[in-house]
Structure 1
Amino acid sequence: MSSSSSAPSPADEDHRLVKSLVVGTLLLDVLERDIHTLDSLLLKMPEVYVLSLTRIQNQVLQEMLAVRQQMRKRGVKILEEKREQEGIETVYLCRGYWQRFYMLWTFARNEVKQELSRHLHIDLTHRL
């Protein structure tokens, strides 16, 4: 038996980590825009809504920190993220292998919605 000294090829877990970080970044953008919008509305108690979304922002940042730590351990590094008309493209290096991850905006929107609903403890399968 001989063992290979080359780096292991990218795994599904590596792709999942990259996707998680991209979705987290998009969710932070959505939350920031929504907080800014809430601040500009004439609501009776805007601080309650803003604090709620700020709490979610902090949770997302903590989760993203954990994802980055896992990526570092696995030798995964995001090199570039391009937002295009059809979707978002992420180029990353995974243990010496160049990889590309592409997500259409429709898919990205659904992923962000799922993540936000998870943080709000809302089950989207039971709509009114």
Structure 2
Amino acid sequence: MSQNKAPLWPTDEEQGMIKEFLLLPLVLTVFERDTEVIGNNVKTKAPYVEAIALAMDRVTLNLAGLKKEFRLRGIKVFDGVRTEHGIRCSYLCRGYENQFDLMWTYVKAEVELRMKHYLGTHLEVYLSHKTKLK
């Protein structure tokens, strides 16, 4: 038996990938909704809509990369189901079946962080800009 064989259960890295796979579609949904709201309520909407469109392109590329990586690693993630408490998905990892749950409070905070990241307004950018203003 080879010692280089991947374990049946997901590694910590793979669990992070599954979490990301659940969160990124939600980021896209929020971006789509916000684009619609901005389009209907802002006079000069083009800069905002373009920034969100670029962010959505980056999210979509990352989702495609996750799907490719899942195929390479023998992982199949089934669509997340919204529950009263959060999001749950089932996954198959090299024959190992399990579920993954994220609570709504966690989802909201994590989606917001990712939105800031993809829009280029994550904390490091804000802090460095704030320091320069002093």
Structure 2 residue 38 is matched with structure 1 residue 32: no
State percent identity of aligned pairs: 29
Matched positions, count: 125
Alpha-carbon distance, 1:7 to partner: 6.6
The 1-side partners of 2:101 and 2:107 are apart by: 10
Q: Supply the AA of the counterpart residue of 1:107.
A: Y
**2:80 corresponding residue in structure 1:** 81
The 1-side partners of 2:112 and 2:34 are apart by: 13
Superposed CA deviations along residues 52-72 of structure 1, whole A, max 9, x for unmatched, are 101110110001111111111
Question: Which structure is higher in helix share?
Answer: 2
**2:51 corresponding residue in structure 1:** 52
Unaligned runs of 5+ in 1: none
Q: TM-score, normalised by structure 1?
A: 0.87
Structure 2 residue 95 is matched with structure 1 residue 96: yes
**2:23 corresponding residue in structure 1:** 23
After superposition, the CA RMSD in angstroms is 2.1
Alpha-carbon distance, 1:9 to partner: 2.1
Unaligned runs of 5+ in 2: none
Q: TM-score, normalised by structure 2?
A: 0.83
Alpha-carbon distance, 1:39 to partner: 1.4
The 2-side partners of 1:80 and 1:118 are apart by: 24
